[in-house]
Structure formats: C-alpha cells, structure tokens
Amino acid sequence: MRIGIDGRELAPQRRGIGRYIFELSRELDRHLPDAEFYVYNRTPVSLPIESDRWIMRTDSSRLGQRLSMLLWYKTRAGRLCRADDLDVFWGTSAFLPRLPSEVKTVLTVHDLCHVFTPETFHPLHLAGVRLFFKRDVQNADVVLAVSESTSDRLHDQVGRRADAIISPAVRGVFAPQSDQTIDTCRRHYRLDSPYILTVAAWEPRKNLERLIRAFVAMKESRLLAEHTLVLVGKKGSRFKGVSKLLERDAGRHTRPLGYVADEYLPALYAGADCFVLPSSYEGFGVPLLEARACGTPVVASDTPELREAGGSDAIYIEPTEEGIRQGILMAISEAPPRVERPVLPTWEEGGRVLSRILWP
C-alpha cells in the first residue's frame, strides 16, 4: 500500500496544523506497518518517522521554486504523486493535487479562515484559496474535520459535512508540572512576577492587539498589580499592529518570547495564573487543550469551536477589550484549585480512525 501525504505544513518549529499532521503520521506508522508513506513538499522537511517506509519527495526545478506554495502544490505536486503510483492520498490541509481518478483522496479541513477572517490572507493567496477550496472539498472521496463546528460551517458554506471528525490531541508532556520544573522555566525566561499567558501566532484573527490593549489598561488602572502578559508565538503575515503595541509598552507590562519548544511550554502553561485565547475565529483551538492538560485556568472567546476545545472548565468571553478584562479578572480571582490532567482526545485514537479511513 502506497500512501501519499501533503507535507507542506511539516516545517521546523511545528505548531497547530503541523503538529496535528506530524503526530497523526506517527500513529499511522504504527497502525499501518505494511504501508509505504510518500511525503510531498517543494523542499525537504523532517519526516515524522525515520524509516525506509517513509520517503521524501521534493521538486528542485527552477519553476517549482518560483511558484507560491499553493500554486506549486496544485500544478506540480501531482506529477510527483503520479510517478509513485499511489493507492491513496491524504490532503492534510484543505487542498488536493491533481491525481489520477483511481487514487482514493482523503481531505482534512482545519478551518474556514478564508470565509470568516479573510483579512489574515495576502490577497493573491486568498484568491487561490477561494478558487480551489470548494472544488477540492466537493471532489474528495472522504472529508475530515477537526471539530463538529467546523463540519457544520463546512456544510453551510460548501454543502458537505465531514465524513468523520478527528480532533487534535495533546502529548503526555502536557500535564501538571512540579514546582521545581516551573521554577526552572521561570528562571530560564526571567519571569520574576506572576503572569498571564497567551500562545498564538501574531495575526489578526488571534486578536492579540485587543488583548495587549486590555491588559495594559488593566495595569495602568491598577486592576492588576504585579502580573506580566507573556506572549508565545511567531510573527504571522500581518504582525505590525502587535509589534507597535509591544514597542510602545517597551517591556513594562508585556514579554514576547517568540517560539517556545515543548521542552519549556508545559511549564509555561502550568506556571501561568491563567491562559487567554481571545481569537475572533479558530477551527479548533489546540492551545486550550494544552493549557487544560497542564491544569491552567483558561479564558477563551465564546465560539462553538473553542467551546469544543475548552470544555466545561473554561471561562468564555466576548472577544472585546471589556470581555477580555472581565475574563482575566474572573480567572485570577475565582480560579478553582488545579486538578489532575483532564480526560482529553489522544493521538492514538485519532490515528486509529485515520488509518481505517485511509485503508479500510
């Protein structure tokens, strides 16, 4: 059995979609021990498994290097796939290359950002997404979604529900941490005061500008005496508004840490007085799962997708400055005692479902 995998999101410093693909791929290797896996990307990426059964396929042509990633995938990746005589192809991120009709296609939809937050996209990329998304969803043999809410929105926008839901999960490293581990992490990042944490890329739909303005206003009005706002995440395509606010604050009340590896991230979650995710839209909300797994009180925008990720133990807010303010105050003043790791989805469960879909 030959399985093709879209590897465009398997870049270094994986978060979100990249982590989802990486972890499920590792489970596929366990559940399908006789399969060969072909990973396609314009340039080499780190494969989920080091094995003769995992093969990297790249395009070194001059034309391939000049195309945008989406255009390369739609026009060039199919040639590589056809040469490998695939049985099934997993489109890991909403799109499919041009494939022979006999190849079974399985497509995962993570979100509908191009519909609900189009300002996140570069205009040319947005045009490409709008051109290909609906057709690929309608033509796929099997459609998967990361949440029931995403499936519902997919039906509203495209007229097709997901055939199955495979939600993101968290690895075992995301769990309550010892005081010693938390102290070590705090010293590493020089976090001497209590802090509020957010984990999100710097892009408009993450609503970080409102979070920063709300937090700084709370500090200046003495609603928060000692707390610092800690931001984990990389710069996205539209990050200048966040950068200007952080430059204006000059580190008085905020601490941007950039990308943080899993070596320290669980302790950062566990050491926070609360975690805040005020996004205007998410397809699911993996950081909420990670924070919950670490026993951290969580505050999140009141959207169907984030309610799936946050469960019954989150504080849900309107994603406005006033809503953020109220949520943070409620979390730090009324936070319940930290509990053991809650029961959450596992990658093993998701991998079992995906393997049966790829090869019944």
- Residues 80 and 147 grouped into a single domain: yes
Is there a domain that residue 339 lies in?
no
Q: Is residue 30 domain-resident?
A: yes
Distance CA 278, CA 311 (A): 16
148 pLDDT more than 80: yes
Residue corresponding to tokens 């739609």: 74
Q: Are residues 159 and 13 in the same domain?
A: yes
Inter-CA distances, 2 with 90, 103, 240, 307, Å: 11, 10, 44, 37
* Residue 138 placed within a domain: yes
Question: 224 Cβ partners below 8 Å, 6+ apart?
Answer: 215, 218, 328, 332
Same domain, 99 and 194: no
The reply to whether 101 and 34 lie within a common domain is: yes
Instruction: Specify whether 8 is located in the same domain as 144.
Output: yes
Please tell me the predicted confidence (pLDDT) of residue 335. Answer: 60
Residue 338 is predicted with a pLDDT of 60
Domain containing 314 equals 179-334
- Structural domain includes residue 174: no
Residue 340 lies in a domain: no
Q: What's the pLDDT tens digit per position in 111-147?
A: 999 999 998 888 888 999 999 999 999 999 999 999 9
**Model pLDDT for residues 185-197, shown as the tens digit of each residue:** 999 999 999 999 9
Residues 233 and 318 in one domain: yes
What confidence tens digit (pLDDT) does each residue in 49-78 have? 999 999 999 998 888 888 889 999 999 999
pLDDT value, residue 122 = 85
Same domain, 203 and 225: yes
- Spacing of C-alpha 240 from chain mean position: 21
Residue 283 domain flag:
yes
* Residue 203 sits in the same domain as residue 162: no
Indicate whether 341 belongs to any domain.
no
Identify the pLDDT of residue 340. 65
Share of the chain above pLDDT 70, in %: 98
Residue 256 lies in a domain: yes
Average pLDDT of 209-218? 94
The pLDDT tens digits for 77-109 are 999 999 999 999 999 999 999 999 999 999 999
- Give me the CATH number covering residue 105: 3.40.50.2000
- What integer is the mean pLDDT of 201-223? 92
> Is 148 found in the same domain as 193?
no
Instruction: Pick the more confident residue, 343 or 176.
Output: 176
Please report the pLDDT score of residue 189 as a whole number: 94
258 plus 138 within the same structural domain: no
Do 280 and 223 belong together in one domain?
yes
The per-residue pLDDT for range 245-290, each reduced to its tens digit, is 988 987 889 999 999 988 899 999 999 999 999 999 999 999 999 9
CA atoms within 13 A on the CB side of 288: 28
- Counted domains in the chain: 2
Residue with tokens 């730090």: 332
Averaged confidence pLDDT in the chain: 92
Question: Does 116 share its domain with 206?
Answer: no
How does pLDDT run across 228-242, given as a tens digit for each residue? 999 999 887 677 888
